[in-house]
Amino acid sequence: MERGIIVRGVGGFYDVYLNGNVLRCIPRGKFRKEGITPVVGDVVEVNTRDAVIESVLPRKNQFKRPCVANIDNLGIVMSVKHPDPDLLLVDKLILAARVNSVKPFVVINKIDLAECESEVKAIEEEYRLSGCPIFCISCKDGTGIEELKQGLYSGITTFAGQSGVGKSSLINQLYPHVSREVGDISNKTKRGKHTTRSVELLILPDGKMLVDTPGFSALDVDLMQPEEVQLYYDEFIPYAERCRFPKCIHYREPHCGVKEAVQRGEIPGQRYERYIRIIEDINEKRRERW
Ligand SMILES: Nc1nc2c(ncn2[C@@H]2O[C@H](COP(=O)(O)OP(=O)(O)OP(=O)(O)O)[C@@H](O)[C@H]2O)c(=O)[nH]1
Ligand SMILES: [Zn+2]
């Protein structure tokens, strides 16, 4: 029995990556009765003699679109411009990642379009204390791609972000072996983007893995408790102990160490303001539900 990872499903078969090779396997018959459906990213035990998947190990996390399990890292991609960065979405994706035990990192793409260095610096500054590694790249001229490759954590990485920021371009840069579809939005829709191709794990030469289809949902954030959100903001940690109230969520409470740090400019003000927006959005959604 050997342990491997499912990298793709092909009409009832599963390709399992084990010992540096890919073996096409069939799932054990009893899976269907037991209601077990293996998915891409699953860690499985394989009887290599018969190429049969004997068991699926418990999942660390699982996502629907694309349907993958056991994501380790999330690359949150934005572009300097075209489109302008949606920092609220970036913040929500950081949260959604951390809630699901996924390590987030930030990718600022299209730096070739920046008119001056300070344009990129200003975006970087927003996330400097967030605990997320930051990579500044251009998929157009290749700047920063090598650093990103080196800096990629081990395990399975997926990319998410607004439409048009360059997620597919980045996957092509990191895994140039197969050409994938990159283009303007209208072109992709015309050809029925992502409807025919199912999700796959791409194995990089050093064994790190990429999900070939971008996507990750920030929706989970709406279901969080407002008190819980602050736990995922690394920038609050050094100041929260100065709050007068032990349950301070750094919102309307007086004598708040975090708000004082924002006022002194020690925590990026806009990142804090977006935190408040997230709290208020959650409160709003809760009111709608009750
Ligand atoms: N100038 C510039 N353009 C880029 C860069 N990276 C990607 N693009 C262009 O941006 C457009 C969108 O790129 P995609 O890779 O399709 O973006 P995406 O995030 O996968 O988009 P969706 O599939 O809609 O989510 C394409 O026209 C790319 O050629 C870059 O670094 N610089
Ligand atoms: Zn506080």
Do 83 and 199 fall within a single domain? yes
Strands 52-56, 21-27: parallel, antiparallel or unpaired by DSSP?
Answer: parallel
Enter the tokens of residue 176.
């140039």
**pLDDT score, position 197:** 64
**pLDDT score, position 178:** 60
The residue written with tokens 């007068």 in the block is: 244
Question: Model confidence over 83-94: pLDDT tens digits?
Answer: 999 999 999 999
The number of distinct structural domains making up the chain is 3
Residue ranges for the known binding site for GTP are 109-112, 161-169
The ipTM, to two decimals, is 0.98
Those residues with Cβ within 8 angstroms of residue 24's Cβ, 6 or more apart along the chain or in another chain: 10, 13, 14, 15, 16, 51
144 C-beta closer than 6 A to ligand 1: no
- The type of residue at 99 is V
The CATH number covering residue 236 comes to 1.10.40.50
**pLDDT score, position 181:** 53
Domain boundary among 181, 211, 241: 211
The CATH number covering residue 37 comes to 2.40.50.140
Mutation test residue for ligand 1: of 143, 175, 179, 182, the one with most atoms within 8 Å of CB:
182
Enter the tokens of residue 69.
């399990």
Enter the tokens of residue 89.
């979405």
Q: Is residue 219 part of a domain?
A: no
Question: Model confidence over 162-216: pLDDT tens digits?
Answer: 999 999 999 999 998 765 555 544 444 444 444 446 899 999 988 999 999 998 8
Do 173 and 246 fall within a single domain? no
**pLDDT score, position 180:** 52
Find out whether 43 and 50 touch, Cβ atoms under 8 Å: no
The CATH number covering residue 162 comes to 3.40.50.300
Q: Which atom of ligand 1 is nearest to the CA of 181?
A: 16
Residue 266 banded pLDDT, cuts 50, 70, 90: very high
For ligand 1, atom 27, name the residue with the nearest CA.
183
Domain of 258 in residue numbering reads as 224-289
Q: Is residue 124 part of a domain?
A: yes
CA separation for the pair 169, 167 (Å, rounded): 5
Cα–ligand 1 centroid distance for 208 (angstroms): 23
